[in-house]
Structure 1
């Protein structure tokens, strides 16, 4: 009986050590979503390029050019500011025709890994649909894509502001 009692503590030590090593291996195998240096390096070039792209891109086109051409409808395409989110940059481009928002396109959005692609494959169409329906940046956040939704909303608002003024 005395020999069995000596084996129990050793068995517990071996099992605890194996569990600790396994836990450390799992913990160290986790990769960060984006490296901090990449996230810090992106905003500086993006902000200078968005300032130049936010004010350009307005074009004029005529309406139904058939008989007379008395109605002229201006079509404006404006790219919003690049918004740096926790998972990457988000930027949208809007098309306004006759004072009405007719198209919203996500120019930049997080695509670094398969999870980003999965989230944005369902979030971006919903955000686009809501923006077109609301005709403003007053749209709901898509569950599971909180950061992308916030960046989308901010970039959309900057594009709408640029188109008005």
Structure 2
């Protein structure tokens, strides 16, 4: 919820959103939406759950999240070493490690809650961000980088000055 204009010292510095519908079947929910409405048959066929092509999705997720994170840093003239906290989508530990390694960010800069909640899909970044704030791991003035990857095929990043 946006309540008003933020201060010049803090706020969302930039957001970056991308999509490639040609790769939509890499990770998607085939049934239960407007294309294939929910029905008894959709439920019986388990078509209302996330479907993913694992190895292919891993490669694209790592590459896309890295590129989106780099895009946010470049757009704001900051180096990865300037990032205080990196909160990526909590898909799996292999992806988290690969993305952080490619960005040159140590795991100590990541907020990871995968072990606690598993892959919570679209809720993973808000959950991890909330935990970091409540745990006082994010302080006023910190640069927080968010990066996500998901169904449709979409990927995004945001850079926030806390």
Task: Report 1 or 2 for greater relative contact order, CA contacts < 8 Å, sequence distance ≥ 6.
Answer: 2
Bigger radius of gyration among the two: 1
Higher helix share: 1
TM above 0.5? no
TM score, norm. by length of structure 2: 0.31
